[in-house]
Structure 1
Amino acid sequence: METARWATLIAATVTMGLVSGLFYGFAVAVMPGLRRTGDLTVIEVMQRINTAILNGWFLLGYLGAFLFTGVALALHIPSDGRDVLPALVGAQLCCGASMAITGRVNIPLNNALQEAGPAALIGDPAAVRTAFEGPWVRANIWRALLSTAAVGFLAWSLYLEGVAS
């Protein structure tokens, strides 16, 4: 049981770190870089990214972060390591909130961008960009903050688990 607790904590921390890094990268590099480009470029690049990101490696990290954190939490409920539980609950809540933002804001915006059609054929690319970019960037910043907080909670859980051993 101890090995399973450690393994799930490590898997949760790694996968959450990957997701947090992805959102952070968009917040500090991708979107600021695109902000300096034309409307058609933003639309085309984001359409391509939204298609490319839907792959098994992304899903492993994204879904794995939530699932591994949940399993780690479940494995610690019957344990003597009750000090770890608040940090794991915090991680799960932050991860869940980040996923909720993704589902309620980012994915619908991504879908609307795809439905706008090929960038070169969009009649008013400035309007499409305006409807997408600001709300998407704000939501992504929240996702980056929440997933980073989750990594912090998971790192604290690893520390507490080590102290309790």
Structure 2
Amino acid sequence: MGLMAGLFFAFDVSVMPGLAKGDDRTYATAMQNINAVIDGSGPFALVFIGALVLTAWAAFRALRKGRRETGWWLLAATLCYAAALLLTVGINIPLNNKLADLGHPGPSTDYSVIEDFKGTWETANIFRTLLCLTALGGIVRALLLHGRATARTDIG
């Protein structure tokens, strides 16, 4: 979860502002290249899906073992990350696909899709960052609760 929050945050504070300082052709080319690398990355896919699966699994296990408070925090984290995934699938990926449809950006390419990135894609990414950070906070809270419960059983 921390890796996903960090990735989204890096786009918010460095990648997108840096690209915005260039021209539309550079912006389009760079984003096409970034998306191609991310789409073809096994480690990225593992972390992208793994954050959801592992957090949901941890919530299920905690609730099943009767650690309700820990489980509810993990379930809340799972739901926050699921919302980030919905934003990704509903907004970011379709815009990435529109950008890919430009093909190789040339001097005569229509760059109107870039305005969607500068507005919609970037705003959705900020929300993905906030949702991932909230999920990470829920996981940290669950870990603290789990640690306290474990410490009590070790003492008793």
CA deviation string 1:86-129 (max 9, x = no partner): 2111101100000000000000000010011111165322x121
SS in 2 for 1:119: coil
Per-residue deviation, 1:34: 0.9
Q: Which residue of 2 aligns with 1:37?
A: 22
CA deviation string 1:38-75 (max 9, x = no partner): 00010000000000012111011110000001110111
1:58 partnered with 2:55: no
Q: Which residue of 1 aligns with 2:138?
A: 153
Counterparts of 1:157 and 1:136 in 2: how far apart (Å)?
31
Q: Which residue of 2 aligns with 1:110?
A: 96
Counterparts of 1:103 and 1:47 in 2: how far apart (Å)?
17
Q: Which residue of 1 aligns with 2:154?
A: none
Q: Which residue of 1 aligns with 2:67?
A: 81
Number of residue-to-residue matches in the alignment: 149
Identity of aligned residues (%): 40
Moved >2 Å (runs of 4+): 121-125
Per-residue deviation, 1:143: 0.2
1:142 partnered with 2:127: yes
SS in 2 for 1:151: helix
From 92, 95, 110, the counterpart of 2:78: 92
Q: 1:158 to 1:43 in 2, by over 3 A?
A: same
From 4, 9, 18, the counterpart of 2:3: 18
Unaligned runs of 5+ in 1: 1-15
SS in 2 for 1:26: helix
SS in 2 for 1:62: helix
Unaligned runs of 5+ in 2: 151-156
Per-residue deviation, 1:81: 1.6
Per-residue deviation, 1:133: 2.5
Per-residue deviation, 1:140: 0.2
